[in-house]
Amino acid sequence: MKKGSVLLIVVAVVAVLGIWGVKTYNQLVGLDEAVSSSWSQVENVYQRRSDLIPNLVATVKGYAAHEESTLEGVVEARSKATQVNISDLSEESIRNFQQAQGQLSSALSRLMAVVENYPDLKANENFLDLQAQLEGTENRIAEARRAFNETAKTYNVAVRTFPANIIAGICSFPVKGYFTADEGASKAPVVQF
């Protein structure tokens, strides 16, 4: 083999590897952007829920003024939930976000339990509308979390699969975290009659 042929083969191999590397990098960037977009949707629906809470609290306050501690608990939980900032989508960051949102969900559940004591409030049109919007938002949250987990899974498989994991490691594409079931969700609720 001539020296020129060997050089041509080496150049061709380097070109193929370079093209593969660029293609893989661009694919990982696209998947990373899809995860970011999906996360934005998760934040969007949580923000929608957060935006409904002041109106819900104000409506309940008009009927249940002496339930101040419950109302304050909802407001405080909302404040904490909106203060959680996610700088990366690691498992720990998502877990912290999920815990803050879980505390808000718990406070809302306590508020809804208090509402049961006020038949006039349960019949109030504004309250019923807010309650329906909140229920719809909770469904949107569940769907956005599911979609995020699917997008994160696609991304994580790509960054962990050989040989793309080489490019992912070199170019710092970290594995993303997932939403998990809330603590105690695996236990079936006890229904007593």
Domain residue limits, the chain:
3-170
The CATH superfamily holding the domain 3-170 is LemA-like domain (1.20.1440.20)
Q: How much of the chain exceeds pLDDT 90, in percent?
A: 66
Residue 87 DSSP class: S
Contacts of 142 (CB under 8 A, 6+ apart): none
Residue 186 has pLDDT above 60, yes or no: no
Cβ 41 vs Cβ 34: under 8 Å: no
Q: How confident is the model at residue 46 (pLDDT cuts 50, 70, 90)?
A: very high
More confident residue, 97 or 63: 97
Helices (H), the chain: 3-63, 68-83, 91-115, 119-123, 125-160, 164-170
pLDDT of residue 171: 95
**Least confident residue range of 43-52, 59-68, 94-103:** 59-68
Q: What pLDDT score does 1 carry?
A: 66
Residue 103 has which token pair? 């505390």
- Give the pLDDT band of residue 118 (cuts 50, 70, 90): confident
